[in-house]
Amino acid sequence: MLGRPIRQGTFSELSVSDRERVLQAIEARDLERLTAYWAYLSAGQQMMITLGYEWALRWILETGPEVTAQGHSVFVESLADSVIGRMVTELLEDPEELSALADPQTSRLAPHLPQPSPVLEKAQVGDWEGARVLFEGEFLRAKAWHDLLFRYSYAVMSALLEKVGQEQAQAAVERVLRSTSFYEPAWQQAAAVEPEQLAVMLAEHLRLHFSGPDGGGVEIIEEADRIRLVLSPCGSGGTMRRQIGHQPGFAKLEQASEVTWGRAGEVPLYCSHCAVNELESLRRFGHKKWLTEFDPDPSKPCGWTILKRPTTST
């Protein structure tokens, strides 16, 4: 249904990170398992980094040069000294990339996407330690690209909020979400599955967002009436809130509203896209497919909760 492989198993098994599964295969010197897990993980990382790239490009196109320049400045100031950060800024400054919104797989992003071959080639000749070292390096590099691409969007969104105010910024979140290539296919998939399989799909999405302390660990807890995906932290907004802390330029929504879960001054515009998705599922299906457990303290876990019996309330 998804058009790609997806990990299956018990919720306990799916709570183990993809990174740990690859390392277990290397430790066991199991080439078949390594090939399966690393090919699966690297393909997912390629997809998620590409998504982050598209997200950043669409925010640049949405906000225009003045707001983008302000967000760009905030992004650069938040980096300290990062080689990949400089590569991200250079990649997003290419006028042809911005105007055409070219397929990232054929763009200048392609050489930076993780590739399975070097790790597998080491394992095939029996160099398992070399395979482990290469894998760990590829994993960390992929996480850095992911984190910095999404941080760029976070910075530009914050600049937009300061420029136009909450109402217009919230409307922009809806426009940008709906414009992305992944948006409609994701909703069609969500509509077609029962809560248990939805939990499997969302857990994969969150693992590929490098959630959790292991960079891809999502705790899945099944209760009588719900399935909880616990993220410590969420690899998207949660990680950025921990990394950025109280650095200037990263604004929060000051007015309580539907997209702040009724909170004032605690939710970044970036994180509000989770609330927008809740409202979208209510619009499409008459109930919320999942609920966001947002915690304003970035040191605490966030999560998504899938109710086994849908409700229209939060």
Q: For the chain, give every domain's residue range.
A: 11-307
Look at residue 129 and tell me whether its pLDDT is greater than 90: yes
The answer to whether the beta carbons of residues 104 and 94 sit under 8 Å apart is: no
Look at residue 314 and tell me whether its pLDDT is greater than 50: no
Look at residue 82 and tell me whether its pLDDT is greater than 80: yes
How confident is the prediction for the chain on average, in pLDDT?
91
pLDDT of residue 32: 97
The fraction of the chain above a pLDDT of 90, given in percent, is 78
Tens-digit pLDDT profile for residues 202-232: 999 999 999 998 888 999 999 999 999 999 9
Tens-digit pLDDT profile for residues 9-37: 999 999 999 999 999 999 999 999 999 99
pLDDT of residue 110: 87
pLDDT of residue 103: 64
* Strand arrangement of the beta sheet that strand 226-231 belongs to: 219-222, 226-231, 302-307, 291-293
Q: What is the 3-state secondary structure (H, E, C) of 65-121?
A: HHHHHHHHHHHHHCCCCCHHHHHHHHHHCCHHHHHHCCCHHHCCCHHHCCCCHHHHH
pLDDT of residue 99: 64
pLDDT of residue 34: 97
pLDDT of residue 247: 83
